[in-house]
Amino acid sequence: MDTPSPSSSSSAAAAVVSVGEFTLGPGRTYATFAAPEPNYGEPHLVILEQPVDKFRFRYQSEMHGTHGSLMGSRTEKSKKTFPTVELRGYSGEAKVRCSLYQVDPQRRAPHSHHLVIKSGELDLIDPHDLDVGGAGAAEPSEGVGGDGKYVATFQGMGIIHTAKKFIAEELYKKLRKHRLCELNREPTEREEQQMQKEAAVMARTMNLNQVCLCFRAYRVEPGTGRWVPICEPVYSNPINNMKSALTGELKICRLSTTVGGVDGGEEVFMFVEKVCKNNIKIRFYELDEYDQEVWQEMAIFSEADVHHQYAIAFKTPPYRHKDITEPVEVLMQLFRPRDRCQSEPVLFKYKPRPGMMVVPGAGASGASRKRLRISSGNVSSEIPTVIQNDPNGPVGPAGVGGGG
């Protein structure tokens, strides 16, 4: 298949304003763009369905068997969607290309990871092309909009993570492939050295846990078979590596207890999905009857209390009121400061101080405040256990427990 020549970009619609360039050597730049409103009188691409924002990047060795593919952001159990783009303001046959790019808008360049589609025993790496506007155009996914004829839906894609030691090599391959299109000849020895240097520079600053999809549209010139850009590319929202502690989903898996005293300072063990020890907090908070937050406090722990990224030993913060006479339910969740990501909250119950518990149904003889022992269960401080829901005891958080 002929590959489009970047030198033919003069025919593309000037619908985007350049704000800078990422220089990759003499006569070699990747343009960077702002995102003003496109000129709708010219051909342009519109993303109808964004990819999910979290997806597991897998290594090549993990690609045996069947793994989940990259879904659309509006996927539901009853209806699957996939990344979808539409070419508008254009008539005639065209090709829509999808490839993997870096997220930084000031540094739009290919990413070292690979976007793969399984074809029998082979993994076909990006770019991936679909025909639109002609008899061979594929049908779009249900519910993504568009008139169908110029809609391209990319299904069955996965992301292969490039190991750090191979980043520069993979970038060099992509740069070389792109340079061949520009030059229409083999690079000289000096140009080869320059590309290797460029790849090494990019490899040092590349974000390995975030990627985005780059969509481009081309027409194929009759006779020459040359691919000519129809319009400027568009880029999807970032896709975060679910497997990474820096960008992955935050999840509380298991707790040693979900009950503590109002004075705080009680040790709790929490099992979690992978976290980064210098970028994680545990937030306690309370909502009023209108779901407005009325109190919050952070749990007490240090980086040394985060065990191999999967467990945290922390001390509970004191509750805002020390004179409560009955247990108070609050919420706690994991919080990642750098991207402000939060886990699903779980319930935590603060119990009154000894002697402050109100006995239901007690008379007015002055014995309404009776010292009671509120047990948090037989919880070992050495081996964390799951607090199960018990109608006669402390209430454990729904959905917490099971897998560690």
Please answer whether residues 160 and 58 qualify as being in contact, where contact means their C-beta atoms are separated by less than 8 angstroms: yes
Last residue of a domain, one of 308, 323, 351: 351
d(CA 150, CA 144) in angstroms, rounded, equals: 12
Q: 329 with 288, same domain? A: yes
373 in any annotated domain: no
Q: 85 with 134, same domain? A: yes
Q: 273 with 166, same domain? A: no
CATH of the domain at 286: 2.60.40.10
Q: 183 with 227, same domain? A: yes
Q: 228 with 265, same domain? A: no
Q: 183 with 225, same domain? A: yes
Please answer whether residues 212 and 70 qualify as being in contact, where contact means their C-beta atoms are separated by less than 8 angstroms: no
Which residue range is the domain that position 272 belongs to?
252-351
Q: 217 with 308, same domain? A: no
30 in any annotated domain: no
Dihedrals φ, ψ of 14, to 5°?
-85, 70
Last residue of a domain, one of 320, 351, 382: 351
3 in any annotated domain: no
pLDDT tens for residues 21-77? 343 443 444 444 444 455 667 999 999 999 998 888 887 766 555 557 899 999 888
What residues contact residue 365 under an 8 Å CB cut-off, 6+ apart? none
Q: Structural domain tally of the chain?
A: 2
221 in any annotated domain: yes
Q: What confidence score (pLDDT) does residue 402 get?
A: 43
Q: 50 with 72, same domain? A: yes
pLDDT tens for residues 166-204? 899 998 888 787 677 555 578 888 988 888 888 888 888
Q: 275 with 212, same domain? A: no
Q: What confidence score (pLDDT) does residue 78 get?
A: 83
400 in any annotated domain: no
343 in any annotated domain: yes
Q: 99 with 140, same domain? A: yes
CATH of the domain at 222: 2.60.40.340
d(CA 249, CA 242) in angstroms, rounded, equals: 6
Q: 237 with 280, same domain? A: no
pLDDT tens for residues 70-96? 999 998 888 899 999 999 999 999 999
Q: What confidence score (pLDDT) does residue 13 get?
A: 38
